[in-house]
Structure 1
Amino acid sequence: MEKFAGFRVPQTIFYGRHSFVNVGREAALRGKKVLIISDKVMDQLGYVSECRQFLQEHGVHSAVYLGVSSEPTDSYVSESLEMLEKENCDVIVSLGGGSCIDTAKAIAVLSTNGGSIGDYMGNGRIAGVEAVPHIAIPTTAGTGSEATDVTVITNTSNDVKMMIKQPAFMPDVAIADPMLTISSPKSVTAATGVDALSHAVEAYLSKKAHPMTDTIALSAMELIVDNLSPSYHNGENLDAREAMSLGAMQAGMAFANASVCLVHGMSRPIGALFPVPHGYSNAMLLPAVLEFSKENCVDRLADLGRIFEKDNRNLTNEEYAGIAVTSVKKLCTELGIPNLKGWGIDGDAFRNAVGKMTEDAFMSGSPANNPRVPTREELEALYLSCYDYQFSAGEKVK
């Protein structure tokens, strides 16, 4: 390494079956009243009431915000922050997917540092005051947000997904209990799983990767490649679910410290303009972006190929890199990942938005971390190619 690197993770991490029970004790160490940030689905599944019971057992009171119903927006942030202050809560528990966790991260910082969440975009404002204690509990094996200092919030005034990264946004405690992921439908398991794979792969390919992130990214890739299909085909497979929860969290740790690349740079603008959840848009883009980037990262992409193809060790790095791209395409096909057209996005609307999406992607900074940094013309062409990209056919992306 030519310069030093940093590595940040939550203060405390619990993972494994039934680790959810730790929420009460950890909350009691940090305050007296919790605001639970969740959604109506988690409430209907009984996870919210279970959480409140664990808290009550340790003498911790709680209030609940269930307003998160889509990708996180500044509106959710404002509403939940108002409830946090009205209920005099001194601890936050996020329970759900990445949208719930990212919303909680935002209000944890705003409560003590002030301003609006948009002020923190591009480090326009730095959170210098310690955030409200935050315990993050994912119910999908996907975003890894429980272990990152990143929050992604949509600015509803200009339709831009703001990726904000500062140490203050890191949760204090992460609890990854695979038992909470069993309820995930097959489609969610698929999309969030490929999302987690994209985190691990991009962390490994990133120009900001370093030895600590490499080690964890490789572990995450292997856990996800080996266990995503079993989790998808049999949601009751606890061994696979547990491996996926660990892999997704490791992938989050890796990309939070190495940064993401072109997939995420392209994905966020899509989600800001069209109703595509983040996990799905990442999954839709990953095969085409890997194909586009391959010539500039053959050796590293070959390591992913070796994870997919464990039985044959006599191939060249170029051949293994090709296997990596082909295997990701096959995985997306197996998991029923649609392309953007298949999702239902209108073709004319998408083409008309390509200019704005390209500009927003570059403004995010993520494409600059990619092994192959596209020109504006290349990025526009890649967006258009991804619209009706055929995973099974494996068409070549120039």
Structure 2
Amino acid sequence: MGGNGMLITSGYNFEGYDIVNYLGHESVQVVLGTGIFSSFDASISDLLGTRSSAYEDKLNLAEKAGKEKLMEKAGNNGGNAIIGLDIDYTTFTNDVIAVIVGGTIVKVERKMPEKEVKKVCSMEYNTTVPIRILESLIVYQISTDKMFLRLYGKNYSDSKVKGLEVKIKIETIFNDIVEIPEMTFADICESEEKEIVTEYNNLKLENNVFKLIKSVSVQMMKYVTEKNEIVEIAADQYKKIDLTQEQLTDIRKIYGNDAVNRAYKSDSGWVCYCGMENENKEHKCHLCKREVQVEALRPISMNDSEGTFCLYDHIDYIENLKNAKEIYDYLEKLNCTDVYFNGIILAEIKKLVDGERMYGSMKRSAIIKLKELYEKE
């Protein structure tokens, strides 16, 4: 890129831009007096294996001046870019060289994106069904002026899914609800980890809705198993996730893509990260098969108390960090107001961070220290 934002290239296009107008070829000349650095002197210096830096500096300055003059001419002609840049040299006498800089002046515009994409978490879940829709990917294809929807989910059952019939509810930033009462998906891929992805389906909405989307809820009405069994689902069995999109995204970074909240103690047992109610004697969730340290769980009201720190609310995420430095940075961002947390726990982890400069990653030591300090509290 040249001065004043002018684009310039020896090629004939710019990535990410369209040429909308060709304004003609132009050239400028810069005359250079070489003085004592004659062509004879330059040839002698080459034979001796040295280079005349002063001579080269003059040529570089002339090229730069030529480009600046050409860009100025391009701007005066209404252009904002130059393609096909070419630099030539001609000698008038032994001591005078002309640098000729030429190119085609054009006007360019940044390309419009071919599509816009928005991925949002589904804000409802149902623990009575072994299939769960987790996220919706909405694509607005500008060239066709159409929107398309793809669903991502989790299959907790042993039987693969062949088809889905769903109801879509879209909430806008104005809190308006747009409903699509029925949409079917018949081309569904399932990974070894039991994650499912649907094909893209045409989303018949007014295009101005795309930029207004705040959240999406997907309710399965029916699904078809690989044995061609059709399972119908009652709409009143769905529960709303009482979090914002941002809060749910953060929860899922820690506990997994199917999490709807932290695990917590309930009146009759405990509730898993996936939202499934389990009995106290069980340490593995009925639905998602997670193994949970039930004795470490607390009631939801305690989990949500402002300023408190519960290690087991964060340990799954911490286990995936690389070193003590990442653990310290994560803990610091929690903005916990607990005195013991700030005065003791953070200080001890900081010591391990300092030790990593000499001993390498101390992730395991940091996790052990966290557990020791948390149990002392």
Higher strand share: 2
Q: Which has the higher helix share?
A: 1
In our comparison, the structure showing a higher alpha carbon Rg is: 2
Same fold (TM over 0.5): no
